[in-house]
Structure 1
Amino acid sequence: MKKLLTAGLLSSLATSAFAYDAEVDINGEVVTESCTINNSSVAPTVINVDMPKINISALPSAGSWAMNTPFTVALTNCPDPVKVSWEKSSTVDAESGALVNTIAGTNAQIRVLDGNAQPINLNSDAGQVVTGGSANLRYFGQYYAKTAPVTPGKISTYGYITLTY
């Protein structure tokens, strides 16, 4: 009898420990609609940005930058509205928000700038909303010296853009 009473008491205590104070209902939708990016029929689209060669003297100190190189993300056939954001990924420096070199080479980084030539911190990009079904989004790639001295060498990196409908 004592064992049964003890088991009953313990089970009533255990159920109250698993009570909840709020229910979070999550809803979503998977759609077939998507934007066409740079007239590509391949997904994911690859956009190549060829940065010109620079001399290490162009990046003399930590925080210096050089060579804004423009590129465009052309969106067409989009549902309305669509949010365009840069994703935080393993190629984004946790401190600078710039793209790190993924090959053996220079210790320089590549910053992504918006259409107004302002740096985008890829760790926390709020994105921008496109309406009207199409847009030409202008960005820049920029050499960036997180630390000094910058070492000579090749640089290769990549970032991801996400479209949210």
Structure 2
Amino acid sequence: MDKVTKFFLTYLFSFSAFAVDVTVHVNGGILTQSCNVSGQDLIKNVNFPDLDPKDFSQKGAVSAEESVSIHLENCTGNLNNITYKFSGEADDSDSSLLKVIGKGGATEGVLATGLAIEILNEKKKTIALNTVQALNEVITSATYTLNFYLRYKSTSSSIGPGDASSIVYLDIYYE
């Protein structure tokens, strides 16, 4: 063999072949569909009548409740182990209450002071904000309605007038 052929053969066989194994993990699950929130309930507006600061004569005084209903539809199967959580900005003086932050969350105007918003369950028992709650019901039909109440609660013996709006979110969990 001539020198050029030896060079090319040496060059050709001098490279090693490498193989790399790649592991791909596939994760997923097959879940029974739970429920859908009715389109009309994806954004709820709850309007309280204008109240006088004198209506809250002492710390802990409350306004009348305003009801809120969330309609679930297209529910399938026997759904149990359902939990929910209202989340939002907690009041500085009582973390179980929703803080008054103004319309749309923008604190541009004068905010009411000395009060917060209390959330109540269907039995009108207080639901602590940012805390997971058990529904304690089994949904067996295609539709179901969650009923809650909201009311103002004074956190001080002195209430200042102003915008008493806020925003709260409801998360529903199915297991």
| TM-score, normalised via structure 2 length | 0.66
Paired residue for 1:163? Answer: 172
CA distance in 1: counterparts of 2:28 and 2:60, whole angstroms:
42
Cα distance between partner residues in 2 of 1:46 and 1:30: 29
- For residue 48 of structure 2, the aligned residue among 34, 51, 70 is 51
Please state whether the residue corresponding to 2:65 is helix, strand or coil. strand
SS in 1 for 2:147: strand
1:106 to 107, 112, 115: 112
In 1: Cα distance, 2:47 partner to 2:138 partner: 26
Aligned to 2:130: 123
**RMSD of aligned alpha carbons:** 2.7
Could you state the TM-score of these two structures normalised by the residue count of structure 1?
Answer: 0.69
Q: Which runs of 5+ in 2 are unaligned?
A: 1-26, 103-109
- Given that residues 112 and 160 in structure 2 are in contact (C-alpha distance below 8 angstroms), is that contact kept between their aligned partners in structure 1? yes
Q: Residues 143, 137 of structure 1: CA spacing in aligned structure 2 closer, same or farther, 3 A cutoff?
A: same
Aligned partner letter, 1:117: K
Which position in structure 1 is the counterpart of 2:10?
none
For 2:156 and 2:71, how far apart are their aligned partners in 1? 34
SS of residue in 1 equivalent to 2:54 = helix
C-alpha distance in structure 2 between counterparts of 1:141 and 1:40, whole Å: 21
Amino acid at match of 1:126: Q
User: 2:148 is matched with which residue?
Assistant: 139
1:93/1:100 contact within 8 Å kept: yes
CA contact (8 A) 1:84 1:161 kept: no
Cα displacement string for residues 23-48 of structure 1 (whole angstroms, at most 9, x for unaligned residues):
xxxx97586945332x3079xx1111
Corresponding position of 1:7? none
Cα distance in 2 for residues equivalent to 1:152 and 1:30: 53
Question: What is the deviation of 1:143?
Answer: 0.8
| Aligned position for 1:36 | 36
Equivalent residue in structure 2 for 1:92, among 82, 90, 93 = 90
Equivalent-residue separation in structure 2 for 1:124 and 1:62 (angstroms): 23
- Cα distance in 1 for partners of 2:40, 2:127 equals 28
Amino acid at match of 2:39: S
Aligned to 1:76: 73
